[in-house]
Amino acid sequence: MSREIRAAAGAPTLEDVARAAGVSRATVSRVINGIRNVDPAIQEAVKQAVEATGYAPNRAARSLVTRRAETIALVVSGAADDSEPERSAFAGRVFADPFFGRVVAGVAEFLRPRSMYPVLMFAETPADREQVVSYLRQGSADGALIVSTHADDPLPALLASAGLPAVLFARPSTPLPMSYVDLAHRDGARLAAEHLLARGCRRIATITGPLDLPAGQERLAGFRDVMARNGFPHVPVAEGAFDQESGEAAMDRLLTEDPDLDGVFVANDVMAQGACHVLRERGRRIPEDVAVVGFDDSAVAPACRPPLTTVRQPVEEMAAEMARLLQNHIEQPGRAEALSVIFEPELVVRESA
Amino acid sequence: MSREIRAAAGAPTLEDVARAAGVSRATVSRVINGIRNVDPAIQEAVKQAVEATGYAPNRAARSLVTRRAETIALVVSGAADDSEPERSAFAGRVFADPFFGRVVAGVAEFLRPRSMYPVLMFAETPADREQVVSYLRQGSADGALIVSTHADDPLPALLASAGLPAVLFARPSTPLPMSYVDLAHRDGARLAAEHLLARGCRRIATITGPLDLPAGQERLAGFRDVMARNGFPHVPVAEGAFDQESGEAAMDRLLTEDPDLDGVFVANDVMAQGACHVLRERGRRIPEDVAVVGFDDSAVAPACRPPLTTVRQPVEEMAAEMARLLQNHIEQPGRAEALSVIFEPELVVRESA
DNA sequence: TTGAAAGCGCTAACAT
DNA sequence: ATGTTAGCGCTTTCAA
């Protein structure tokens, strides 16, 4: 009824199981690793012995010989000056945007059936980045999934030149021989612009993401593209930083520039939420006076009042694909070529537009 | 100028460094692990050799002999029926509340100076829990930090009976010989009630957390305590589930029960945000008509309109303390006794009350 | 199909 | 202060 499970101290080893089953270590190893060519009877005996001894294979010993950690790192990578005073809050700031939670969820979901779990790393300073490289070089993880928060993040290049397997979320701002997943940002922005136009808006502005980020540029480009094609060669633009505060400030500027605007495309949901607050404080009804379209379809979108119409980015699937790509690179060291997988966005209509 | 760093395949070993420095493996090991009793000159020579060869110690080899993974698991643990259809979204749902991001940030912050990084695990089904136990028994991690989302989470007991080092966030609902950190929930609720009373509210209601959770019960108890002492033996109560939707529903019920209420204490910020939405939709001004006090001081509190007055829970520090406690248990296997560290909450006054 | 044996790279006695 | 040596627990040729 009660299985004997000895404490970690004198944990049973392959040797113990072998003795209990009356076979050799090699044979036990074979059945544990599911290698065929093992007599069914012996297989059964071994399984019983495993059960009886409460055996659990030792990860370190296995890794030492297979040269695989069976672990991957998920690193959120910033690029602050060393001087930045409040660097310690980086990890905290990161999760203020539900976006990163979705990345974690997507990766974890993909890994779980493989009995793997991501190691979470935050890298902001040069020292942090060295730590990430060290971690991988020590074989603590077989590869890394990188999500950069800044355009000039040096980590991807560092990893590339060290020949360490890595996959990026979003195209790097300077070309690199690395696989990445990304979204068709332009298409997403087009969806937003067309929706705003279709519902009758004629004085439309946009709040962009950081314009040094490809995602920021492309969402703007796609938006402008549609607007220009529809007879609006000039649209008011305010740059934000993907956080709520900058969204509020940007909305403020836009409203000053054109008090009569009737539509805004905001480059992410968190900023859109901020924009909505400012709009309502200035007495605008949403969407009657001003229609708002966000981007991401993160947790804040449905939580907003009114619920946000937004462009869905399938972050979880993108994250899972990242993990899949990384797996390939790990399994074929050097052999696998750098790929990019681009996902299509989708308009999610709620009430804000 | 350019350091030679060979690919992982033929990575340099201690032996290589020893040869390059003209000493023995043991000596190199000593300087790498910072053990004294090494001639400064030789120390220097070894460091140069390390640099020259691009040596990085192999984690698996080290773990095999030290019997330490130098890794800890951070597990978010639910307790769904196996039948639950949408279990796959667990990881995603979890991060919808900024609370968990703060836990991660606090743990990561504590670990980083030690060059350690948390392994993130989500456990919802019995199979998931077995995986967690396996992971630890294999020595993949030295111990676990558990954050349960349900009162009847079986994982802590599982870990305890397996003799695996673990520390909990929040007191388990059934006593267990395990260390945990927690908040003085009653005190926090008292702060909220007193603040509401002090600003003149006289028809005060509360939205609680799940009442099978000690945190839910105690926040309610502390609140009732102060109310009763001030001449309000009966207060309207609506139970929520710590998510925004249930906060909205609860506020709805409360408003139906007493349309004239002028204050609400809500057991967390996410529900408070939902409550605010409903209140405004029902034409109440906040705080003029109805004052609202939340709990947590999570990222949604300042992001709310109006910004939420709330009871601060120092989640990051609590998480760091969890890690510290776990470290002790790991370093003194069996020896360290189960401790509990209780943190004091603090009222953060913003604009909602 | 199974067993014997050689390491994987490192740390930690122990000896010098 | 330094070197020698014996494993840590596992996988994987190689023989039988």
- Summarised one tens digit per residue, pLDDT across range A35-90 is 888 999 999 999 999 999 999 999 999 999 999 999 999 999 988 655 555 556 78
What is the DSSP secondary-structure string of A246-291?
Answer: HHHHHHHHHHHH-TT--EEEESSHHHHHHHHHHHHHTT--TTTT-E
Share of chain A above pLDDT 70, in %: 95
For residue A254 the two structure tokens come to 């836009």
- Report the nucleotide nearest the CA of residue A66, measured to C1': D11
3-state secondary structure chain B: CCCCCCCCCCCCCHHHHHHHHCCCHHHHHHHHCCCCCCCHHHHHHHHHHHHHHCCCCCHHHHHHHHCCCCCEEEEEECCCCCCCCCHHHHHHHHCCCHHHHHHHHHHHHHHHHHCCCCEEEEECCHHHHHHHHHHHHCCCCCEEEEEECCCCCCHHHHHHHCCCCEEEECCCCCCCCCEEEEECHHHHHHHHHHHHHHCCCCCEEEEECCCCCHHHHHHHHHHHHHHHHCCCCCCCEEECCCCHHHHHHHHHHHHHHCCCCCEEEECCHHHHHHHHHHHHHCCCCCCCCCEEEEEECCCHHHHCCCCCEEEECCHHHHHHHHHHHHHHHHHCCCCCCCCEEEECCEEECCCCC
- Which residue in chain B is spatially nearest to A123 when comparing CA positions? B112
Q: What is the DSSP letter of A321?
A: H
Segment B119-138 shows an average pLDDT of 97
Interatomic distance B66 CA / C12 C1' (Å): 10
Segment A299-327 shows an average pLDDT of 97
Last residue of a domain, one of B31, B66, B101: B66
Contacts of A137 in chain B (CB under 8 A): 5, 8, 11, 56
Q: Please tell me whether residues B141 and B283 are part of one structural domain.
A: no
Q: Please tell me whether residues A204 and A308 are part of one structural domain.
A: yes
Residue of B117, B122, B148, B151 lying closest to B135 (CA atoms) = B122
Segment B130-157 shows an average pLDDT of 96
Instruction: Indicate the residue of A96, A134, A281 with minimum beta-carbon distance to B56.
Output: A134
> Cβ separation of B139 and A115 shorter than 8 Å?
no
Position A129 in a domain: yes
pLDDT of B84 > 80? The answer is no
Helix (H) or strand (E) holding A346: strand A346-348
Kind of pairing, strands B263-266 and B237-239? unpaired
Q: What is the DSSP letter of A306?
A: S
pLDDT of B340 > 90? The answer is yes
Taking phi over 0 as left and psi of -120 to 50 as alpha, with beta for the rest, A197 belongs to: alpha
Contacts of B7 in chain A (CB under 8 A): 163, 333-334
Position B351 in a domain: no
- Between CA B243 and CA B198 the distance in angstroms is 28
Position A350 in a domain: no
Last residue of a domain, one of B29, B47, B66: B66
pLDDT at A87: 52
Residues paired with B122 in a beta bridge: B76
| Domain count for chain B | 3
For residue A338 the two structure tokens come to 């750098």
Segment A320-343 shows an average pLDDT of 94
Helix axes A98-111, B98-111, angle to 10 degrees: 80
What is the average pLDDT value for chain A, to the nearest integer?
Answer: 93
Q: Please tell me whether residues A250 and A160 are part of one structural domain.
A: no
What is the DSSP secondary-structure string of A144-193?
Answer: EEEEESSTT--HHHHHHHTT--EEEES--SS--S-EEEEE-HHHHHHHHH
**Higher model confidence: residue B83 or residue A188?**
A188
**Higher model confidence: residue A189 or residue B98?**
A189
**Does A273 contact B at CB distance below 8 Å?**
yes
Residue of B315, B295, B312 lying closest to B101 (CA atoms) = B315
Residue B333: pLDDT band (50, 70, 90) is confident
| Cross-sheet strand order for the sheet of B340-343 | A340-343, A179-183, A166-169, A143-148, A72-77, A119-123, B119-123, B72-77, B143-148, B166-169, B179-183, B340-343
pLDDT at B76: 97
pLDDT at A8: 39
pLDDT of B87 > 80? The answer is no
pLDDT in tens, B224-238: 999 999 999 999 999
pLDDT of B244 > 90? The answer is yes
- Between CA B139 and CA B59 the distance in angstroms is 13
Mutate which: B33, B64, B281, vs A, most A CBs within 10 A:
B64
Segment A302-317 shows an average pLDDT of 96
The identity of residue A206, as a single letter, is: T
Share of chain B above pLDDT 90, in %: 88
Q: Please tell me whether residues A177 and A276 are part of one structural domain.
A: no
pLDDT at B273: 97
What is the average pLDDT value for chain B, to the nearest integer?
Answer: 93
Helix (H) or strand (E) holding A143: strand A143-148
**Does A58 contact B at CB distance below 8 Å?**
yes
pLDDT in tens, A244-291: 999 999 999 999 999 999 999 999 999 999 999 999 999 999 999 999
pLDDT in tens, A170-213: 999 899 999 999 999 999 999 999 999 999 999 999 999 999 99
Position B262 in a domain: yes
Q: Please tell me whether residues B140 and B235 are part of one structural domain.
A: no
pLDDT at A333: 83
**Higher model confidence: residue B2 or residue B66?**
B66
Q: Please tell me whether residues A326 and A177 are part of one structural domain.
A: yes
**Does B137 contact A at CB distance below 8 Å?**
yes
Instruction: Indicate the residue of A92, A281, A303 with minimum beta-carbon distance to B105.
Output: A92
- Between CA A294 and CA A301 the distance in angstroms is 8
How far does CA B17 lie from the centroid of its chain? 42
Contacts of B109 in chain A (CB under 8 A): 88, 91
Position A215 in a domain: yes
Mutate which: B53, B100, B110, B112, vs A, most A CBs within 10 A:
B112
Q: Please tell me whether residues B178 and B319 are part of one structural domain.
A: yes
User: Residue written as tokens 């950190």?
Assistant: B181
Q: What is the DSSP letter of A83?
A: T
Q: Please tell me whether residues A20 and A166 are part of one structural domain.
A: no
Q: Which domain, by its residues, includes A14?
A: 2-66
Q: Please tell me whether residues B297 and B197 are part of one structural domain.
A: yes
Domain at A110, CATH number: 3.40.50.2300
Last residue of a domain, one of A40, A66, A92: A66
Q: Please tell me whether residues B82 and B148 are part of one structural domain.
A: yes
Instruction: Indicate the residue of A105, A128, A280 with minimum beta-carbon distance to B91.
Output: A105
Cα of B63 to nearest chain A Cα, Å: 6
**Higher model confidence: residue B309 or residue A335?**
B309
CB within 8 A of A349, min separation 6: which ones? A195, A309
> Cβ separation of B118 and A120 shorter than 8 Å?
yes
- Between CA A106 and CA B115 the distance in angstroms is 25
Segment A93-100 shows an average pLDDT of 88
**Does B2 contact A at CB distance below 8 Å?**
no
The identity of residue A252, as a single letter, is: D
**Does A32 contact B at CB distance below 8 Å?**
no
Q: Is the CB of A64 under 7 A from strand D?
A: yes
Position A351 in a domain: no
Q: Please tell me whether residues A275 and A170 are part of one structural domain.
A: no
Position B353 in a domain: no
Q: Please tell me whether residues B153 and B122 are part of one structural domain.
A: yes
pLDDT in tens, A52-64: 999 999 999 999 9
pLDDT at A51: 96
Flag whether the pTM goes above 0.85.
Answer: yes
pLDDT of A218 > 50? The answer is yes
> Cβ separation of B121 and A122 shorter than 8 Å?
no
Domain at A52, CATH number: 1.10.260.40
Position A55 in a domain: yes
A7-15 own/partner pairs: CB under 8 Å, 24+ apart: A7/B163, A7/B333, A7/B334, A8/B67, A8/B137, A8/B139, A8/B163, A8/B164, A8/B333, A9/B333, A11/A56, A11/A58, A11/B137, A11/B139, A12/A53, A12/A54, A12/A55, A12/A56, A13/A55, A13/A58, A14/A55, A14/A57
Segment B304-311 shows an average pLDDT of 96
